[in-house]
Chains A and B, each alone.
Chain A
Amino acid sequence: MKKAERIVNGSGGQVVFGQELGRGGEGSVYEVVGRSDLVAKLYHKPLPKEKQEKIEAMVRLKTERLLRFTVWPVDVLLGAGRKVVGFLMPVLKGQEIHKLYGPKTRLAEFPQAGYSFLVHTAANLARAFAAVHEEGHVVGDINHSNFYVTEQATILMLDCDSFQVQSGSTRFGCDVGIPMYMPPELQGVRTFRGVIRTRNHDNFGLAVFLFMLLFMGRHPFAGKYSGSGDMPIERAIREFRFAYGPSAAARQMQPPPGALPLTVLPPKVQQLFARAFSQESMSGRPGAEEWIAALQEMSGALALCPRNAGHQYPMQAGSCPWCAMESATGGLLFHPTDSGRRTAPATGGASADAGRAASAEAAGGSGFQLPGIWAQIQRVPAPAPARTFPEPASLPAQLSAPVAVYLRRRRLRAGLSLTSLVAAAGVWIFLPGYWLLTIGALAGLNLLLLAAGKGRRKLRSARAEERDRLRAKWDEVCRRYAEASGSGAYGAKLRELEQAKREYLDLESFRAAELRRLEERQRGLQVQTYLRRNRLEHAQLDGIGPGRRATLALFGIETAWEVDAVRLARVPGFGPANTRLLLAWRDRLERRFAFDPSAGRVPRSEILVVERAVEARTRDLERRLAAGATELARISSDIRARQEAALREAGGTALELAQAEHDVEAL
């Protein structure tokens, strides 16, 4: 606006403005010609006297220390009548803090930032507050756009002209504030005009931002409320409903599902949060200095997740909370930095690798090492191969006792019968007069013997019945054995694990292929845009006059993109010569097209879709492979137990069956 007007700095030198860098509600920020280290903020409207004095005072109050943490006004900008119309300040570096604490934007904007970076940033934010407080000022308007984070995790505060500034005995107020970052005592305030802001107010906002940095962007007062109705953040703040605190449950609050539990942090930091958000200590919240000490200590006590080097966490957590959270939510919190771990060689040196895996486990980690895991799977004994059983009938067997007794008695009866026959014959020869008697006796005796021999049929059918029962049992046992031995469960599981291993080792190339596919598509889109920009009506094409071009347009062929043989064939009266001409034109354009990798950058969000899917698949495969050895061993020992039980039963049954067969045959 005031660019036409002559504007000078505090020492009277003219300031020339370059490009507008940003535009806000009360002013715009411009480049300053000749000063790459400074920018100028110019207000849209004339400033009231008090605001002019505030800026003049701030320029006087600038210190080395403030300038390390803020873009503090370093010089005034004066317009007509030496009225303050703006000020000069250092160039802002970095990005808005919410892009760091929100995982989704962090992955895109701060891809290298791990938890350690977040803890460092938190400590630096506390340092920035400490600097402002020690100079006697209050930040006041704490919000997600007023803190910038650089790639070195340092903080720069902006919008300093809204700070509450203390100049000797004069206090310049802060008139603004966003309720969701304001302490309970300032909730429901109708206007901040005239409200004296204190460090203790700031300390609440500081704690909220530290919390959001350490808790993946979660607001400390956004939780699950078990009461009825809504629980907006401001009301939760007013009613001290810190969702993670020890008294959260008593206040009907609990942390959102899948959020980091407070207990993961070092006890000192936990206590600071509890104090910052509690009713009891609302008049004495932890100050910036206390936070600096606790956070510094915390950043020195981070452990590295053995499974994913992108995960750092407070040592006292015991196991990696990020792995658990990522696996429960399916979201991605940090970039998996060593995706190469998947392609580590799986064969060879298995014992050394197994040793390494064992030591990783001994170190208390849950590290996944494929070679060690695979060696364990391979150590699981396979079930014994199936044996063929001999046919029981072919086994040597003795007769059973009842059959043996019966047969002995039968021989005796046969002897008696023979003897009686011989005797009868003797009587008949030597005492012919008694033959009748003899025949009678003989018949009687043999009838008796016959009656005695009647038991044979009964015995035989009993034994045959027994044999059939045993045969059935034998068949059943054989079936059970064969079923156990032939069970595909072991082989199937092993194949499944092998498949999982193959897939695991392929993940890296899968990921690369997916990313390539995205790039290809991006390239395709660029070609399309480029061809679409080349309109037929402007093309230098001799022989295709305006009339023809109008016809082509009617058939939807207006740019090089639509030029193709199929479409052209549909245009009536458009001959092969013209078709060739047009296709050659398109061809020339395509050859001339140069891919611009910077403009054709694949959107970060699409890359993250791939990363997230690959990470989820990695976790799933690792889980299945890690459980593989145990499951395979269970299947194997189950099969062996069933085989052995069948074998034991088969032995007894075979012998009994052999005997029964023998018995039946003998009878």
Chain B
Amino acid sequence: MFEFDQIPFAAEFAENPEPRCPCILLLDTSYSMSGQPIQELNRGLSSFKEELMTDSMSVKRVELAVVSFGPVQATSEFGTPDDFYPPMLTASGNTPMGAAIEKAVSMLEERKNVYKQNGISYYRPWIFLITDGAPTDDWQRAAALVKNGEASKSFMFFAVGVENADMNVLGQIATRAPLKLKGLRFADLFSWLSNSLNSVSHSTPGDQIRLENPASPEGWALI
């Protein structure tokens, strides 16, 4: 009667079957981020984990993954905040943003399949891009993927530009208006992101969430 087959990923879902809100951070680690920007970004990442951990629902429902570029690599695979160990990012290389976006979209598809196989319900995933430059590779296909994903509601794509980011290209990739980070306020940005994910994790999958406006005078962003 109780002869089950071994099931991949089963342990995490058996111990925590709550609906999941996957969130991919797409982080630019190109050479131009060296110095203070990358330090602030690293600091922001670890406070991000801490903030998510303080919410009893987010810690069960939010799943984080990090893709850094360049080169494009999955620095952290999907896991709930308690299993998320903020990577120490170092800046080097160029800005293959197009490939990074494609990687993120395919990781999301894979993760959704895992959820479906395991009978886990999920919220609309988030892709959160942070960059300080312009893509050094072909980004047209990535832009098309983002447009399709947003249109079919299979994910939400947010783009944040730091300092000298090419806001024009970001505007062509994202369907939502890209945001410009004020100075290096990564801490505020991640605090906002964790609050937003907290509200998502207290809602029901499929709900429309009204996000706090990050571009308010006290906010961390400029439109």
Contacts and interface: CB of A to CB of B under 8 A. Distances in A.
Interface of A: 96, 98-99, 102-105, 107, 144-145, 178-180, 216-219, 222-225, 230, 232-234, 243, 254-259, 261, 263, 317-321, 323-333, 605, 612
B111 interface: no
Contacts of A99: 56
B6 interface: yes
B2 A324 contact: yes
B132 to A, nearest CB: 27
Contacts of A225: 116
The 7 closest A-B pairs by CB, nearest first: A256-B119, A324-B2, A328-B4, A331-B14, A329-B10, A331-B11, A329-B14
Interface in B116-133: 116-121
Given A257-B7, A324-B3, A325-B4, A180 B205 contact: yes
A489 to B, nearest CB: 28
A222 B57 contact: no
B43 to A, nearest CB: 15
B218 interface: no
B40 interface: no
Interface residues of B, number: 34
Interface in B178-223: 202-207
Interface in B98-136: 116-121
A346 to B, nearest CB: 28
Contacts of A259: 14, 17, 119
A218 B17 contact: yes
Nearest to B203: A178
B18 interface: yes
Nearest to A221: B121
Nearest to A616: B11
B1 A333 contact: no
A145 B3 CA distance: 35
B49 interface: no
Nearest to A603: B82
Contacts of B5: 257, 328
A442 to B, nearest CB: 95
A95 B14 CA distance: 21
Contact of A104 (B1, B10, B60, B204): B60
A187 B120 CA distance: 20
Interface in B74-113: 82-83
B15 A333 contact: yes
A230 B125 CA distance: 14
26 contacts: A96-B56, A102-B15, A103-B15, A105-B56, A145-B202, A178-B203, A179-B206, A217-B18, A223-B119, A224-B117, A224-B118, A232-B121, A232-B206, A256-B118, A256-B120, A257-B118, A258-B7, A259-B119, A263-B1, A319-B2, A321-B2, A323-B2, A328-B6, A330-B6, A331-B10, A331-B11
Nearest to B3: A324
A493 B120 CA distance: 42
Given A102-B16, A103-B15, A234 B204 contact: yes
Interface of B: 1-7, 10-19, 56-57, 60, 82-83, 116-121, 202-207
B60 A319 contact: no
A98 B203 contact: no
Given A180-B205, A216-B17, A222-B121, A324 B4 contact: yes
Contacts of B120: 222, 256
A332 B16 CA distance: 10
Contacts of B204: 178-180, 233-234
Nearest to B5: A328
A291 B49 CA distance: 41
A68 B31 CA distance: 63
Contacts of A103: 14-16
A144 B57 contact: yes
A652 B205 CA distance: 81
A104 B16 contact: yes
Nearest to B153: A230
B4 A105 contact: no
Nearest to A233: B121
Contacts of B57: 98, 144-145
A338 B116 CA distance: 36
Nearest to B199: A25
Contacts of A319: 1-2
Contacts of A254: 119
B199 to A, nearest CB: 10
A546 to B, nearest CB: 25
B119 A331 contact: no
Contacts of B60: 98, 102, 104-105
Given A222-B120, A234-B204, A257-B117, 15 more contacts: A103-B14, A103-B15, A216-B14, A217-B17, A225-B116, A230-B116, A233-B121, A243-B119, A255-B119, A258-B7, A261-B1, A325-B4, A328-B5, A328-B10, A605-B83
Given A223-B119, A324-B2, A256 B17 contact: yes
